[in-house]
Amino acid sequence: MTEQATLKAMGGDNSMQAFDVHRVREDFPILKQMVYDKPLVYLDNGASAQKPRQVIEAMTACMEGYYSNVHRGNHKMSQLSTEKFEEAREAVARFINALTSDEVVITKGGTESINLVAATYGRKFLNEGDEVLITVMEHHANIVPWQLLRAEKGIVLKVAPIDDDGNFLMDEFEALLSNKTKIVSVPHISNVLGTVLPVEEIIRKSHAAGAKVLIDGCQSVPHTKIDVQALGADFYIFSSHKLYGPTGIGVLWAPLDILNSMPPYQGGGEMIDRVTFEETTFQPAPHRFEAGTPAIIEAVGFGAAINYIEEIGLDNIAAHEIGLLQYATERLKSIEGLSIIGNADDKASIISFVMDDAHISDIGTIIDRAGVAIRTGHHCAQPLMDRFGIPGTARASFGLYNTKEEVDALYDSLVLVKEMFA
């Protein structure tokens, strides 16, 4: 049983018991904003989370106090920047229990991380007829890179189904595995349905079939502990901005033997060992995948975000969010004509829904006037919308600073939507 399932079975946790959420909210300056003269209720964390002052201050301190380009500089500023940049890499390694920080490749985000794997490992090791297995729940970032590889190499892309509640169908997935399956690439948590996939079992069965496994952890790392050594995946990717850090930076984790078997992704500074006009040799991982000047200030913020999350504790965050999820689910289900899309047995703090007679864009606009920020649309998951026969959903996604009072504000605004379209 996963952490989310255990908490659900226990009845979740009162949002004031896990930690003092109102004290935590004081760390987020933006939450003091008024929107249309209403207090901001920010429920779009699945798209991007807000940043605590600890992250903001760390990035400001870098810009004001020691910013310089990193690596190879022999002056004090460069040395300080390099130290802080590598401290962020070490923080990531600690956060996911990597064996060494050399297993942590700094990328522009989750999207680039998947593209990197497809364009390097996939291009080198996959041949015509080899199969990549994904799910119908994928973000476009875990579909399009494999389609590009298919156009180039002639690989076969297979898709594992789900049931009407959004549960992952393990038997159907296993039936799609074969000796032709070379890569299995799946989300840890669906960004639309909130479904928590049984990734341990997926990894075990995929490895038994001889396939490498990539786990998209963009939606999971803010909500649950990740131990890549225990998990046993071959690649684990995530972004900073959903983890209360800055945009423009993310992570590709993989064991060193896999990383060093992969060719470079881009060419330029930092990733080289020696360059001549006749030949270039490359650095070992992680630097061979980090061409050019990296996101230095963002890395400092990323490290600060991880430190912040660790101080609160992911167990406490999970308990808080599952309590919110249960409360919000009960409240929204009581609204006549509102249908929740995704009712998996094991689910994280995301609720997607539609309403009779009300277009999702109208839902988003109307409740915005009440100060409530949610996401509407296909959420970069158009094939999943096709699976349910809908153009999109409204989506409320909860974070560590959200409260039951904010759930009540969401409920009240949706009642107003219902009344307007009655």
Per DSSP, the three-state class of 219 is: coil
Q: Dihedral sign, CA of 365, 219, 241, 409?
A: positive
Q: How many residues does the chain have?
A: 422
Tell me whether residue 62 is one of the annotated catalytic residues: no
Question: Looking at this protein, which amino acid is placed at residue 253?
Answer: W
The crossing angle, in degrees rounded to 10, of helices 314-333 and 404-420 is 30
Per DSSP, the three-state class of 373 is: strand
Annotated active-site residue in 170, 380, 390, 416: 380
Question: Looking at this protein, which amino acid is placed at residue 419?
Answer: E
H helices of 64-198, where?
76-96, 110-117, 123-125, 144-153, 170-176
Contact call for residues 370 and 38 (beta carbons, < 8 A): yes
Contact call for residues 253 and 236 (beta carbons, < 8 A): yes
C-alpha distances (whole Å) from 107 to each of 84, 89, 111, 228, 265 are 17, 11, 9, 18, 11
Contact call for residues 191 and 221 (beta carbons, < 8 A): no
C-alpha distances (whole Å) from 49 to each of 117, 284, 397 are 26, 33, 10
Per DSSP, the three-state class of 189 is: strand
Q: How crowded is residue 277: how many other Cβ atoms within 10 Å of its Cβ? A: 5
User: Which structure tokens are listed for 6?
Assistant: 């255990």
Cα–Cα dist 177/167, whole Å: 18
User: Which structure tokens are listed for 157?
Assistant: 């892309």
DSSP 75: S
Residues with a catalytic annotation lie at 380
